[in-house]
Homo-oligomer: A and B are copies of this chain.
Amino acid sequence: MTAPADANSWQAIHAELMRRIAERVWQPGDPVPHEVDLAAEFGCARATVNRAMREIAQAGFIERRRKAGTRVALNPVRRATLEIPITRIDVESRGMAWRYELIERQFAHPSQIVAARMGLAADVRLLHVRARHFADGKPHLYEDRWIHTAVVPGALDADFSAVSANEWLVQNAPFTRGDVTLSAANASTIEARLLNTPENAALFIVERLTWHAFDPITHVRLVYAPGYRMEMTI
């Protein structure tokens, strides 16, 4: 391979700096040499060192401030990246057959909690879509969604019987910001029936609220069948 050829690549420098941090050559709280000095040491341009250090800073291992310099983070906040795919893709990528079933689609008043989270008046009417996703024929996910049709008028023409609201929105209602909340809850009577599981079973729950600028697009509560595990790496 091109072994020492990339000795000056930002990735090689990234790796070397990470090694020094991991092996305590630079202790937590210690200052890290300046970009100019490191560039001289590695015999490369400052921009290359900057690229490497920027990535390390993004990962939370070092803290940088103009004029003050760079130091190894004392309490490195571990950042794990969670990938949130479309449910269909998620199921299929696990090698299972995906099926989708629309339960309900109608206008209604959301609960006060949902309305408050979306920053909407309590008497607003939203499109309420409830559906189930199956993996290999077994209930996998119960989706309870509220769509703000004032912001996504196209949703009025979609019936969500063939294409899931999940997928339709990804394709048709791009969002600029989203809040995700993960939690656990005991299965309610309805949830237990829909997911074919005992009442009070522990369920993994994802709530997602997406915005386009300052307008709430949709609030969805995803209730996964027992056994669901969400995996990510640091």
Taking Cβ atoms with an 8 Å cutoff, the residues of A that contact B are: 18, 21-24, 28, 60, 75-86, 89, 170-171, 174-186, 200-205, 210, 212, 224, 226, 228-234
Chain B: minimal CB distance from A163 (Å): 13
User: Quick check: A22 and B174 within 8 Å, CB to CB?
Assistant: yes
Partner of A185, one of B23, B177, B178, B202: B202
Complex contacts, A224 vs chain B, CB 8 Å? 184
CB of A117, distance to nearest CB on chain B (Å): 12
In the complex, 6 of the A-B residue pairs with CB atoms within 8 angstroms, ordered by the A residue number, are A80-B82, A81-B81, A179-B233, A182-B231, A183-B204, A184-B224
Q: Select from chain B the residue with minimum beta-carbon distance to A85.
A: B77
CB-contact partner of A200 in B186, B226, B230, under 8 A: B186
Q: Which of B180, B181, B212, B230 contacts A181 (CB 8 A)?
A: B230
The chain B residue with its CB closest to the CB of A201 is: B186
- CB of A158 to closest CB in B, whole Å: 16
Given A184-B205, A202-B202, answer yes or no on A76-B170 (Cβ-Cβ < 8 Å). Answer: yes
* Cβ–Cβ < 8 Å partners of A23 in chain B: 174
CB neighbours of A204 from chain B (8 A):
182-184
Assuming the contacts A180-B231, A180-B233, asked whether A79 and B82 have C-beta atoms less than 8 A apart, the reply is yes
CB closest chain-B residue, reference A60: B83
